[in-house]
Structure 1
Amino acid sequence: MDHNLGQDPAPAAGSFDKSRVLNVKPLRTLVPVFPSPSNPSSSATPQGGAPFVCVSPSGPFPSGVAPFYPFFVSPESQRLSEQNAQTPTAQRAAPISAAVPINSFRTPTGATNGDVGSSRRKSRGQLPEDDNFVDLSEVDGEGGTGDGKRRKPQKRIREKRCSSDVDPDAVANEILKTINPGVFEILNQPDGSRDAVAYTLMIYEVMRRKLGQIDEKAKGSHSGAKRPDLKAGTLMNTKGIRANSRKRIGVVPGVEVGDIFFFRFELCLVGLHAPSMAGIDYLGTKVSQEEEPLAVSIVSSGGYEDNVEDGDVLIYSGQGGTSREKGASDQKLERGNLALERSLHRGNDVRVIRGMRDEAHPTGKVYVYDGLYKIQNSWVEKAKSGFNVFKYKLVRLPGQPQAYMIWKSILQWTDKSASRVGVILPDLTSGAEKLPVCLVNDVDNEKGPAYFTYSPTLKNLNRLAPVESSEGCTCNGGCQPGSHKCGCTQKNGGYLPYSAAGLLADLKSVVYECGPSCHCPPSCRNRVSQGGLKLRLEVFRTKGKGWGLRSWDPIRAGTFICEYAGEVIDNARVEELSGENEDDYIFDSTRIYQQLEVFSSDVEAPKIPSPLYITARNEGNVARFMNHSCTPNVLWRPVVRENKNEADLHVAFYAIRHIPPMMELTYDYGIVLPLKVGQKKKKCLCGSVKCRGYFC
């Protein structure tokens, strides 16, 4: 059957009677999850069998019963659940649980930032060389087996992951001690906010990367730690560190259209999509005397035969109907499928999250929140397997910001099927960088920035002797995590500062990279900031702030973006340029910076080995175009490259949080305290709700 997007693809009336497709059972028909001890004397049960006990995964739990993964709940959640159980039914409009819903009764053995339950197939037991990616072909979920059973190969991998002696709970507690107390007050609010969502994701990222770093060191593996995403997510759930614990229909407070996520657990922690694996999330609502499910969100990540060509229309396939053991079968009108059918008739909004291919890590996915949709139609058709599947036509509500369509536009620019509007220069760097940086103006008639010479490197004509002698490392094949012989690793506190994915793993004040004195090759993972640009950037004309910088690529938190290139100058030269009002392109490491408001220790400039002043007015790279923001998405860190002959200090920029494509990259310029006589404050135009009004 061939359906065109934008048209009603439903079959003709009478061609298929959905009511006769399946043997539909009510959602209350559940197999006992927590059987009580056997009672042979009971006449109501077979001898040796357990009497029927059915407990919600979110509790409350009778004596001797404990929740299993991923249904761990905090004591507060348990208390709220018990209160809800004691509330008269008439006063409860919809039984809402903070735990993962019924359609996710599955052990998440493979939830990563890859497509959970995708149809990809790799060699069984072989793990990729990234600390967050793993074979997902054995996992149930959207596009998975549909029978909720784990497979032996996946189980063997899981046992291998648990071999470390790392105590995740102790690591998490140490991280939580560094968090500002005010952050917890925001997170404890029943409804989320933009701050609550941002703080939750930032804490998750710090915890995930730290757990991976420690686990990797303990195992001494160059291939990276296994599943810190699940460890961090579980710990945050059990400790109640999350936003929007109440499930809801429609808009999720603090989550904006276009937000991106690299892990399914992130969707859960911010209240966008609760199941860590299933593609359909729903809740139960009371209608007359019966309870019926309504869909609240779906994840379309390519596991099924979804049609996603139209940016405002999604043809979504139902769940189930495939099993490796039992083979393919007709999908059933139950659980998530039934919830979508009920939402069609009730007309409630459904959140849509689209899974996009992560170009930087082909085995992974980037999840994009594409806003609210309504289900317009549903039907049944034959899949390629020959069995019946449910299809749902969802139409995007008008008036929402673009999200998925931005990604489609970038794909068209990349494959040259469409041209980028407003391009002034296709490559501002004139070949100085490995990747071109286009210069774009689609705002006004300005033809470009003032003339400067593009240089990707830092020039220091008067280098000083190193503060301490350094012979560098002798790691001929590249630095290994946990190596006691690597001097560079020891300078970083015994850990490699970057994960196997090249992400900044720690928030230390100074990053020690390998340098000219080291024997390791250029491909060593401790040389992340030395490889030039790895993101497709563009310099663009902003509305009211001059020129700015943004990326065509989605950027993961902790990703290296660029260094600040230019000429190193002394303090006297800084004073001279400031007096001439020509200090717009000066980086001053001595300013006061509030880089991460979540963590109490990050309220001043990193403890840099020696003051560093860089001017990029006449010569510099893309960093000179990054504008100031009082709520930045980028921070800087001093990077020392090991060199026994001279001090080799650089400034590198890293993403604070996940940054969607085409979002402006900004960092905090900092302020000079105390203000000098005659020093003028510069008006801040960042537009942030936390704008302090000026910088200087």
Structure 2
Amino acid sequence: MEHHFGQDTAPASGSFDKTRVLNVKPLRTLVPVFPSPSNPASSSNPQGGAPFVCVSPSGPFPSGVAPFYPFFISPESQRLSEQNVQTPTAQRVPAAPISTAVPINSFRTPTGAANGDVGSSRKSTRSRRQVIEDDGYSNVEIDEFDVEDGTGTGRSKRKPQKKAKAQQSGGSVSADVDPDAVAADILKSLNPMVFDVLNQPEGSRDSVAYTLMIYEVMRRKLGQIEDSNRAANSGAKRPDLKAGAIMMNKGIRTNSKKRIGLVPGVEIGDIFYFRFELCLVGLHAPSMAGIDYIGSKTSQEEEPLAVSIVSSGGYEDNVEDGDVLIYSGQGGVNRDKGASDQKLERGNLALEKSAHRGNEVRVIRGLRDVQHPTGKVYVYDGLYKIQDSWVEKAKSGFNVFKYKLVRLPGQPQAYMIWKSVQQWTEKSASRTGIILPDLTSGAEKVPVCLVNDVDTEKGPAHFTYIKDLKNLRPAAPVESSTGCSCVGGCQATNFDCPCIHKNGGYLPYSAASLLADLKSVIYECGPSCQCPPSCRNRVSQGGLKFRLEVYKTKNKGWGLRSWDAIRAGTFICEYAGEVINNARVEELGGDNEDDYIFDSTRIYQQLEVFPGDTEAPKIPSPLYISARAEGNVARFMNHSCSPNVLWRPVIRENKNESDLHIAFYAIRHIPPMMELTYDYGVVLPLKVGQRKKKCLCGSVKCRGYFC
């Protein structure tokens, strides 16, 4: 059946003969090419060609042979770092101790490049000098980066990184920060249970979550090191690529075997901020190419079949509605040679074969990140089938392939949720069930709507909205502080900054305002500091940045969620309310009015945060906050035994009084309209007759109660 979409889409039947305009190359014609030796006469090869050389991924490499990506770690950086760096008190102290690097095979050996595995290699057709990732968060160019499948089987002429040196006034201090040693420290801190989960032959929800968690922690830590050494022009460039390279090197991944259809542990609606994340969980292997495929044998011929595509705006794709995608083929664009006709080979050939075979294709949509307009968010939109294909003229005047993909029915909504939020924002559609357009009555910079599309309840019990902590009896600070003198704002390379010293030698937040690591206590600039409100070490003081809504849940009362996607490590809100003492806690608890009390002394099992972290953060003194009469959006966050939000104590520099706050951060990437939850913890020891509350979080790890 021929499908028509107007004059600019599918042409009339017979207007193009695809076999005439395209150059078809079967996969079997791709043969390995070996370089000729520098001295052919000395070769034992009778044909005079270079003998096949098998090299370990970590080297050593013969002369003229470059390491394959992502095994581009220099031999120097593989050496064991056995001593901590000793630096004077007035100089930067590394946040993480240097320890023995994890050997390549200490975790799991990466799978081989067998048919259907992610290990298969395909050379990129794109320009050699280009931005490697199209995520927009790091637009660093790397020369001659030939990887297209993100599996560690390409070449990069990028020079090995030297150990970082931190430049200071009066001389330089060798920080000797080895990214591989940092990675080793992170891996050593993992609970052994995580390794058991990741070593499962098939993926699971836990293995996907842990893989992404390790990647995020490693990427942010390497980025923190790079940030601190930027003045010396050293450190881990592109921490997203470096973190992914280390994980691929050590086999820390899941779903390494390519497959058609659903990927175990990956759910429709999951979001990603880097292409390497897609590769590590087995959703889409190529780090650049938009089409992923495998070889499939039919009778005696092998043909490629598409398994997934990424539609991220690089080509002239078109979305007719939420369930139909008109996808443009790959190729035909080269920065050096200009545009040309696309050819029926590799990914394009795979899509054409899949159109005839009717196999399912995973679709990942790249959308603009509202919080970081230069970046993208990748949304897994589920399974599609190719219903039609044709060739048409692009704006460049050259022939491109077009494929019509239709979403299979019965799948959870993903991309359409994003479209709905966009329509609410643009006022082209109204949010159903809105009771109040702004629950905060203007107290916050961003309005928080109150919504009930479940029943007729008109809102929660009355309370006064305040956005800050109210401490009527502030205590004296544990230690006096004059704060920092960073008039223009704290800089990661200013190693004389006292606020940086208190955070272990690094700023706790990245340039994108993400929490760099999981410290027990975060020290922010405060009233004693001379830096402006825009200082990057005042992240929790800027108020709400996400468009949140308080909504009526089906069985848990009122809850909290966001219209915007939230990146892992992002500050969400603080817990506002009145600071009370322990006697007041006992009084309210006895009256069963403790639903809105935050208790910093509770015990937590935060396996979702970091498997080795099973204790509450260590703070200078217990903190109890009541949000029953006065509070902010944090009072509506429900409990979950598998939370997506964690809390951390934040101390703001103040010489006059103890300025302790409770801030909430995203544990992992949170899609729009997903409930925000944190673990309430338990009070130990349990008292006789202590009331336990039934947990309704619905998690597979649900403890059944909280108290």
**TM-score interval (norm. to shorter):** 0.7 to 0.9
1:254-293 aligned within 5 A: 254-293=265-304
Q: 1:383 aligns with which of 365, 374, 394?
A: 394
Separation in structure 2 between the aligned mates of residue 274 and residue 510 of structure 1, nearest angstrom: 38
Separation in structure 2 between the aligned mates of residue 56 and residue 19 of structure 1, nearest angstrom: 41
Give the equivalent residue in structure 2 for 1:50: 49
Deviation at 1:61, TM superposition (A): 13
Separation in structure 2 between the aligned mates of residue 537 and residue 274 of structure 1, nearest angstrom: 34
Give the equivalent residue in structure 1 for 2:117: 97
**Structure 2 SS opposite 1:380:** strand
1:548-567 aligned within 5 A: 548-567=559-578
Whether the 8 Å contact between 1:101 and 1:275 is mirrored in structure 2 is: no
Give the equivalent residue in structure 1 for 2:667: 656
Give the equivalent residue in structure 1 for 2:138: 133
Residue 16 of structure 2 is aligned to residue 16 of structure 1? yes
- Quick one: structure 1 residues 77 and 201, their matched pair in 2 at CA, closer, same or farther if it must change by over 3 Å? closer
| 1:312 partner amino acid | D
1:220-259 aligned within 5 A: 220=231, 226-259=237-270
Give the equivalent residue in structure 2 for 1:392: 403
Residue 385 of structure 2 is aligned to residue 374 of structure 1? yes
**Structure 2 SS opposite 1:308:** strand
| TM-score normalised by length of structure 1 | 0.88
| 2:432 partner amino acid | V
Give the equivalent residue in structure 1 for 2:135: 114
Whether the 8 Å contact between 1:498 and 1:505 is mirrored in structure 2 is: yes
Separation in structure 2 between the aligned mates of residue 375 and residue 54 of structure 1, nearest angstrom: 42
Whether the 8 Å contact between 1:458 and 1:568 is mirrored in structure 2 is: yes
1:462-541 aligned within 5 A: 462-541=473-552
**Structure 2 SS opposite 1:368:** strand
Separation in structure 1 between the aligned mates of residue 631 and residue 658 of structure 2, nearest angstrom: 20
| 1:114 partner amino acid | D
- Quick one: structure 1 residues 385 and 293, their matched pair in 2 at CA, closer, same or farther if it must change by over 3 Å? same
Deviation at 1:42, TM superposition (A): 9.8
Separation in structure 2 between the aligned mates of residue 162 and residue 375 of structure 1, nearest angstrom: 48
Give the equivalent residue in structure 2 for 1:128: none
**Structure 1 SS opposite 2:499:** helix
**Structure 1 SS opposite 2:355:** helix
Deviation at 1:41, TM superposition (A): 4.6
Deviation at 1:164, TM superposition (A): 4.0
Deviation at 1:109, TM superposition (A): 6.5
- Quick one: structure 1 residues 278 and 472, their matched pair in 2 at CA, closer, same or farther if it must change by over 3 Å? same
**Structure 1 SS opposite 2:697:** coil
Give the equivalent residue in structure 2 for 1:126: none
Deviation at 1:98, TM superposition (A): 2.7
**Structure 1 SS opposite 2:382:** strand
**Structure 2 SS opposite 1:638:** strand
Give the equivalent residue in structure 2 for 1:81: 112
- Quick one: structure 1 residues 496 and 25, their matched pair in 2 at CA, closer, same or farther if it must change by over 3 Å? same
Deviation at 1:505, TM superposition (A): 0.3
Separation in structure 2 between the aligned mates of residue 284 and residue 71 of structure 1, nearest angstrom: 25
Deviation at 1:53, TM superposition (A): 6.2
| 1:420 partner amino acid | R
| 1:358 partner amino acid | D
Residue 614 of structure 2 is aligned to residue 583 of structure 1? no
**Structure 1 SS opposite 2:112:** helix
Deviation at 1:104, TM superposition (A): 4.6
| 2:632 partner amino acid | N
For residues 91-125 of structure 1, what are the alpha-carbon distances to aligned partners after superposition, in whole Å with 9 as ceiling and x for unaligned? xxxx122326425577796344626xxxxxxxxxx
Separation in structure 2 between the aligned mates of residue 187 and residue 276 of structure 1, nearest angstrom: 21
**Structure 1 SS opposite 2:131:** coil
Separation in structure 1 between the aligned mates of residue 672 and residue 476 of structure 2, nearest angstrom: 42
| 1:168 partner amino acid | P
Separation in structure 2 between the aligned mates of residue 190 and residue 241 of structure 1, nearest angstrom: 13
| 2:540 partner amino acid | S
- Quick one: structure 1 residues 232 and 108, their matched pair in 2 at CA, closer, same or farther if it must change by over 3 Å? farther
- Quick one: structure 1 residues 60 and 476, their matched pair in 2 at CA, closer, same or farther if it must change by over 3 Å? closer
Deviation at 1:37, TM superposition (A): 2.8
Residue 451 of structure 2 is aligned to residue 440 of structure 1? yes
Separation in structure 2 between the aligned mates of residue 57 and residue 415 of structure 1, nearest angstrom: 55
| 2:131 partner amino acid | G
Separation in structure 2 between the aligned mates of residue 108 and residue 18 of structure 1, nearest angstrom: 31
| 2:35 partner amino acid | P
Whether the 8 Å contact between 1:465 and 1:647 is mirrored in structure 2 is: yes
| 2:188 partner amino acid | K
- Quick one: structure 1 residues 80 and 668, their matched pair in 2 at CA, closer, same or farther if it must change by over 3 Å? closer
1:300-311 aligned within 5 A: 300-311=311-322
Q: Which runs of 5+ in 2 are unaligned?
A: 74-103, 149-153, 166-176
Whether the 8 Å contact between 1:33 and 1:55 is mirrored in structure 2 is: no
Give the equivalent residue in structure 2 for 1:30: 30
Whether the 8 Å contact between 1:58 and 1:98 is mirrored in structure 2 is: no
Deviation at 1:44, TM superposition (A): 13
Deviation at 1:281, TM superposition (A): 0.3
Residue 617 of structure 2 is aligned to residue 612 of structure 1? no
Separation in structure 2 between the aligned mates of residue 54 and residue 352 of structure 1, nearest angstrom: 39
- Quick one: structure 1 residues 72 and 13, their matched pair in 2 at CA, closer, same or farther if it must change by over 3 Å? farther
**Structure 1 SS opposite 2:319:** coil
Separation in structure 2 between the aligned mates of residue 373 and residue 39 of structure 1, nearest angstrom: 54
Q: Which range is displaced more, 217-226 or 417-426? A: 217-226
Q: Which range is displaced more, 69-78 or 661-670? A: 69-78
Q: Percent identity?
A: 76
Deviation at 1:596, TM superposition (A): 3.8
Deviation at 1:337, TM superposition (A): 0.2
- Quick one: structure 1 residues 167 and 294, their matched pair in 2 at CA, closer, same or farther if it must change by over 3 Å? same
Deviation at 1:265, TM superposition (A): 0.2
| 2:202 partner amino acid | D
- Quick one: structure 1 residues 414 and 141, their matched pair in 2 at CA, closer, same or farther if it must change by over 3 Å? farther
Deviation at 1:324, TM superposition (A): 2.0
Residue 689 of structure 2 is aligned to residue 678 of structure 1? yes
Give the equivalent residue in structure 1 for 2:633: 622
Separation in structure 2 between the aligned mates of residue 58 and residue 390 of structure 1, nearest angstrom: 37
Deviation at 1:343, TM superposition (A): 0.6
Deviation at 1:677, TM superposition (A): 2.1
**Structure 2 SS opposite 1:688:** coil
Separation in structure 1 between the aligned mates of residue 209 and residue 129 of structure 2, nearest angstrom: 25
Give the equivalent residue in structure 2 for 1:320: 331
Whether the 8 Å contact between 1:684 and 1:695 is mirrored in structure 2 is: yes
Deviation at 1:81, TM superposition (A): 3.0
Separation in structure 2 between the aligned mates of residue 212 and residue 646 of structure 1, nearest angstrom: 33
Whether the 8 Å contact between 1:221 and 1:481 is mirrored in structure 2 is: no
- Quick one: structure 1 residues 43 and 580, their matched pair in 2 at CA, closer, same or farther if it must change by over 3 Å? closer
| 1:81 partner amino acid | G
Q: Which range is displaced more, 218-227 or 284-293? A: 218-227
Q: Which runs of 5+ in 1 are unaligned?
A: 85-94, 116-131, 144-148
* Paired residue total: 657
Whether the 8 Å contact between 2:546 and 2:564 is mirrored in structure 1 is: yes
Deviation at 1:45, TM superposition (A): 9.9
Whether the 8 Å contact between 2:645 and 2:664 is mirrored in structure 1 is: yes
- Quick one: structure 1 residues 33 and 59, their matched pair in 2 at CA, closer, same or farther if it must change by over 3 Å? farther
Q: 2:613 aligns with which of 563, 588, 602?
A: 602
